[in-house]
Amino acid sequence: MKLTFDKGTIQIQGDIRVPNSTWDERSKTYRAMALHYRDVIDFLKISGFDFRDDVLDLISCPELQSSVVLMDYQNQALDAWIANGNRDIIVLPTGSGKTLVGIKAISLLNTPTLVVAPTLDLVDQWRSRLKKEFKTEVGVLGGGAWDIKALTVSTYDSAYIHADKLGNKFGLIIFDEVHHLPAAGYRNIAEIHAELNRLVGGKVFEKRVNELTGTHLSPFRAWEEFTYSPWLLLTLFAVKLTPGKIRY
């Protein structure tokens, strides 16, 4: 039996039907959406089947090491992420250093990473910071650019358009402002990428603005509906796609 990635699906070449798969008459194989990758692997291992896994085709990656030092609450967020199996959502308010948490995550996993952001301004910010921290060129996908590297930053629009081509190329995906992801079109970004945890998964860590004000954030005045809305504060999401230790 052989597993391969094909246009956002896991193609199972063999005569065994695995969970969440359907028969594709055209290719004469079973297929499952790439988000079911881990379920497929677990089933085959538990069942004792011999198989070859050729799903992931990661981009060649330099050593990604950063000297970023996190605050206590940022480390708590990373620890919570690890304890939950290296996946799901971290909620942190604006100005609390979410980008630093992402940088530390990339450094710990040391794997090709795709960062997805909603605007070109945020794409530029992520690209500049990643280039500075990791001392390597950072690719861009969006605004007419197609430059894929081990570290790549994309708009949601471009990640959606090209998800079927990039779904097995990165070991980590970070969604900035993840509340954009459940949109009818953008959710396909998650569905097509190998082993993404059922779109966005649950919340594993949260710090509200009032918890950080006066210690890590400056005093402020804000409307309660903005300050405490989990929808507005769902700003970071990362998923581990390959074996290794990662905290986000």
Assess whether pLDDT exceeds 90 at residue 248: no
Assess whether pLDDT exceeds 90 at residue 62: yes
Q: Pinpoint the residues of the chain covered by CATH 3.40.50.300.
A: 72-240
- Of 63-77, 126-140, 227-241, the range with the highest mean pLDDT is 126-140
Q: Which pLDDT score is estimated for 226?
A: 39
Q: Which pLDDT score is estimated for 192?
A: 46
8 A C-beta contact, residue 80 and residue 204: yes
Assess whether pLDDT exceeds 60 at residue 171: yes
Assess whether pLDDT exceeds 60 at residue 90: yes
The angle subtended at Cα 185 by Cα 181 and Cα 191, nearest 5°, is 65
Q: Which pLDDT score is estimated for 27?
A: 93
Assess whether pLDDT exceeds 80 at residue 113: yes
Assess whether pLDDT exceeds 50 at residue 114: yes
Dist CA 153 CA 147 (whole Å): 9
CATH number of 72-240: 3.40.50.300
Q: Which pLDDT score is estimated for 128?
A: 96
Q: Which pLDDT score is estimated for 225?
A: 36
Q: Which pLDDT score is estimated for 136?
A: 96
In DSSP terms, 236 is beta-bridged to 90, 176
The residue type of 100 is L
Residues 6+ apart with CB under 8 A from 147: 139, 140, 141
Assess whether pLDDT exceeds 60 at residue 244: no
CATH assignment of 2-54, given 1.20.210.10, 3.30.590.10, 3.40.50.2300, 3.40.1170.30? 3.40.1170.30
CA distances from 54 to 46, 168, 198, 223 (A): 19, 10, 22, 50
Assess whether pLDDT exceeds 50 at residue 47: yes
Convert the pLDDT of each residue in 172-225 to its tens digit: 888 887 765 655 555 555 554 443 344 455 666 555 555 555 454 545 544 333
Q: Which pLDDT score is estimated for 212?
A: 52
Residues 6+ apart with CB under 8 A from 98: 90, 92, 176, 235, 236
First vs last Cα of the chain: how many Å apart? 34
Average pLDDT over residues 65-69: 90
- Of 79-83, 87-91, 158-162, 189-193, the range with the highest mean pLDDT is 158-162
- Label residue 76 by pLDDT band (50, 70, 90): confident
Q: Pinpoint the residues of the chain covered by CATH 3.40.1170.30.
A: 2-54
**Residue 214 CB burial class (10 angstroms; 0-12, 13-18, ≥19):** exposed
